[in-house]
Every structure is written in structure tokens, then in C-alpha cells.
A and B are shown apart, each in its own frame.
Chain A
Amino acid sequence: MSAARLAVTGGVLSFRALFNWMRPGIYLPTMLGVPLFQIILFVYLGRYSRLHDDAFYIVGNAIAVSGMASVFGMTMVISNERYFGTLASVFASPAARIPLFFGRVIPVAFHGLLVSAFGFLTGAALFGFRIPALRLLPLAGVVGLTVVASAGVGMFLGSLGLRVRDVYFVSNVAYVLMLLVSGVNVSTGLLAPWLEALGQALPLTHGIAAGRAVLSGPGTPVLRELGWTAGLGTAYALAAYAFFRLWEIEGRRRGSFDIY
């Protein structure tokens, strides 16, 4: 089996099998309903506090919800192998590890883009948010890169899930923490220095900054933010892969793949 086929087919199969939101009865409320109300909540909260305009919250949350899809999606498609008892089979297979591991990003990234597009449509339909036609494609590119980079964070959490007992607690905390520190609803400059530093270490923060910069026109540091997004996403993904291989070696040595 070629590496590309393993990456694509393995990624799609793992997404369908391990990502628990494939039934419409579960998918629609969770992956579309939650982003919808998240955007409404923060736009109204912004209007009430009079800190930023509607566009700030719509862009921040529409990109953040793609991060939600990526973080939770990747966490589940990796750590559910252990939860469902299939991890030992994965590690026993002769398949090349790099396409097996990184191929899982592909469907998760497409899905994140879909959720983000729904977020922007929500902003347009409910709050009259408009994106200039010329900036639509660059914004899609920024969102795409942010989704993939956030999947790196999800991979990192997912690989931790191969070892720690309750990774879903960690991923839930990570997502709500991102809403605080990533500039989704509050400019990072207003945060306490340690929270701001935490935010700067997340690709979502730079992806959102790049998204806002694209919409605010030329002369803004889009490329610099995109560079940070890509760099941090790569760093998380490499760290995730290193943990994945480490747990594999440790699991073989101790016979503890599925043990909680």
C-alpha cells in the first residue's frame, strides 16, 4: 500500500470510525449548533460591553470553532484507538507510521474548514457581516492553515491520550482556555502577561490575528502571523509524533497499550 493511499484511506476510515459525531442526530447539534450559539453569545456580549465591534467576535469565533473541530477531532481519532481497544492492532500493523499518523489530519482539516465556513455564514446571516470578495480567498487560506495547525495541537493532545487516563478533560479545558488566551474574544494585549504568553504559544492565536489582518487590508502583518501559525502547528505535530512513537515503544516493552 502506497504511503499516500495509507494516509488518505487510513485518515478517512479513522475519522469515520473514531470521531463520534457522524450521525446527524449527534453531528448537527454538536458541530453546527454549538458554534452557532457560541458566535451569538460573544457578539451580544461584545455589544453589551462595547469593547470591540461585531466583526471582531465573528472573525475570532468563526476561526476558533474550526480550532474546536480540529482539536477535538484529532484528539478523538488518535486517543479513541485506546478507548475502543484497537490501539494494539494499530501498533501491530506493518503500516508506515508517518502516513498512518499524519493522514488523520486530512479529513479533520476539511471538516474544520466546513465548520468555520458555517461560522462565517452565521455571522453574515444574523449580524450582516460581509467579507469583501477580493479577501475571500486569502481568508480561506488563512483559515485552512489555522485548521491544519490547530490539528497539530489536537494531535499533541491525542497522543497524550494514548497515555493519560482522561484526555477529554484536557481537551475540554484546552478549548475553553483557547477562547480566553487566543484573542478570540479579548485582544491578547489586554490579558495578564502570563496569559498573553500562553496565547502566543498557540497557533490559533496567530491564525486569528492573520484572519483579522487579511480583512483589515494591506500593510498588516499577515505573513508574519501565518509564519507563526505554520511553525507552531508543525512543532506541536512533531512533538505529537515523538510521543506517539515513544508510547509505542513503551507500550511494547511494558505490554500496556490498552491499560488505563
Chain B
Amino acid sequence: MPPYGVIRAGWALHLKSLSMSTFFVFVYLVMPVLLAAIAFYLFRNGARHVSLFEGALGTGMMGLWSTTLFGAGEALTRARREGTLELMVLAPTPLFYSVFAITLASATLGLYSIAATTLCAYLLFGVPIEIAQPGWFAAGLLVSVVSLGLLGVLLASFFFLYRYANALTNLLETPVWLLCGLLIPVALLPGWSVPVSWILAPTWGIETLRAAASGSDAVRPLLAEIGVGIAYLLLGLRVLGWVERLACVRASLPLA
């Protein structure tokens, strides 16, 4: 099967599987909507004027990051637990394609988050949904999903080496929400956080979506997001290969 076919088949399989997981339903649907409601109440009643639609996009992107993070945390550890990891490694198809299919599927679930928070804003808070450049908005969503899927491969490789990956995923969720400026401008955070935010795909993803919605320049953040996505791809290929070799040399592939 060609690489494209492996990714497509794996993506479809894992998308169905993860969609049915109650934990992922919580992560991609319930949590973003509840966090969006908190943000809406704060923004609507606070002294500063903040667009609720931007809040909806921000909390939706928070869901996209969370699904990617938890999907990456589960990608290899779940295969190891279920005894399919050796088969994935031994198959003639490079491991990267199989892992990318999983992380891409988990990132795709994040689209539900954006849809859910936007609908919540519209239906419960009467926020008008106005997107000035729908084409760039759609491109922003697509590139965000692919970039985060590639970041997921990189994360999955690191989580593979750490026995308590699930605990680490809990820890990483909120800092990235903060560092990417999904609800709060990065400028409000300490100065060191600005350059850190540049290497995180959600930073550029949310900037693209906001720019496309408001009608400002969406090309620059979109290109930046493509750039970091390519960097994740190159790093992911290298790190995953290194982890795979290390696990084979140590004969620790099936060991949790």
C-alpha cells in the first residue's frame, strides 16, 4: 500500500475509534464548550472589550491542542499495551506513517471543538459568526490539523520513552494554551514566552483563524504555520527513527 493509502486508512480507522472514546468526547466536545462558557462570561462582563467570537475560536483551538496532546500520549503507549506495537514496527511500512495516521486522526477531532465552541457562542450567547475570508479560514483549519498532527508524532516519540506519559500530557495541556495566546495575548505573559510561542503551531493557527475572520492578513501566519509544520516533520522523522532503533537495541519495545 502506498504511504498515502496507509495514512488515509489509519486516519479513518483511528478517527472512528477515538470518536467513540468517552474520554475523547470529553476532551474534544465537553471541556472546550465549558471552558468557552467561562471565557464568554469573563469577556462579556469584564471591563475590557474582547470579541466573544475570538474567544470561541481560542477555546476551540484549545480543544484541538488537547486532542492532539492526548492522542499523541496514547498513540504508541496504547499500541504497546494492546500488543500491536511490534507489528507496527515490523511492518514494511515505515513507522512514521502509522503514527502520523493516529496523531492526524486525534488532531482532526479538534475540528469538532472549534465547531462546538462556535456553535455554543452563537446559540447560547448570541454571538454572530462572521468570517470575512472563508477560504483562508478553511486553509487555516486544514494547515492547523496537519501541523498539529506532525507535532503529535514528535510528542508521541518522546512520550514513548517516558513511562508516565499520561501524567505528562495532563501537565502540558494548560501551559501551551497560555503560551500560544489562545485566550490571552502572549504579550501579557513574561517576555521569554514570546519566542517560545513562535515554535508552537497553535500560535500561528489561532492567528490565521483570527486574521481570516477579521479580514486582515492571514497569509503570513499561515506560512509560518506551514514552516513550523515542516520543522516538526523533519524532527519527527529523526526522533521517531531514533526511538525505534533504541527500543529495538534495548529489546524494550513491548515493555511499559
Binding site for B on A (CB under 8 A): 21, 23, 25-30, 33-34, 37-38, 40-41, 44-51, 166, 168-169, 172-173, 176-177, 179-180, 185-186, 190-191
Query: Which secondary structure characterizes the binding site on chain B?
Result: helix
Q: Please give me the 4 A-B residue pairs with the lowest Cβ-Cβ distance, nearest first.
A: A49-B46, A37-B174, A29-B171, A50-B47
Q: Could you tell me if A48 and B185 are in contact, using CB atoms closer than 8 angstroms?
A: yes
Which of A21, A26, A33, A185 is in CB contact (< 8 Å) with B42? Answer: A185
How far does the Cβ of A231 sit from chain B's closest Cβ, in whole Å? 26
B interface bracket (residues with beta carbon within 8 Å of A): 35 or more
Q: Could you tell me if B184 and A180 are in contact, using CB atoms closer than 8 angstroms?
A: no
B119 within 8 A of A: no
Which of B26, B37, B167 is in CB contact (< 8 Å) with A180? Answer: B37
Binding site for A on B (CB under 8 A): 22-23, 25-26, 30-31, 34-35, 37-39, 41-43, 45-48, 50, 163-164, 166-168, 170-171, 173-175, 177-178, 183-185, 188-189
Name the CB-closest residue of A to B36. A180
Q: Could you tell me if A50 and B167 are in contact, using CB atoms closer than 8 angstroms?
A: no
In the bound complex, residues from chain A placing their C-beta under 8 Å from that of B50 are: 48-49
Which of A28, A40, A166, A173 is in CB contact (< 8 Å) with B178? Answer: A40
Q: Could you tell me if A48 and B188 are in contact, using CB atoms closer than 8 angstroms?
A: yes
In the bound complex, residues from chain B placing their C-beta under 8 Å from that of A49 are: 42-43, 45-48, 50
In the bound complex, residues from chain A placing their C-beta under 8 Å from that of B166 are: 26
Name the CB-closest residue of B to A37. B174
How far does the Cβ of B31 sit from chain A's closest Cβ, in whole Å? 5
Q: Could you tell me if A51 and B30 are in contact, using CB atoms closer than 8 angstroms?
A: no
Beyond A34-B170, A41-B177, 17 extra complex contacts between A and B, CB < 8 Å: A26-B166, A26-B167, A33-B171, A34-B171, A37-B171, A40-B178, A45-B42, A47-B188, A48-B183, A48-B184, A49-B46, A173-B26, A173-B30, A176-B34, A180-B41, A185-B42, A186-B41
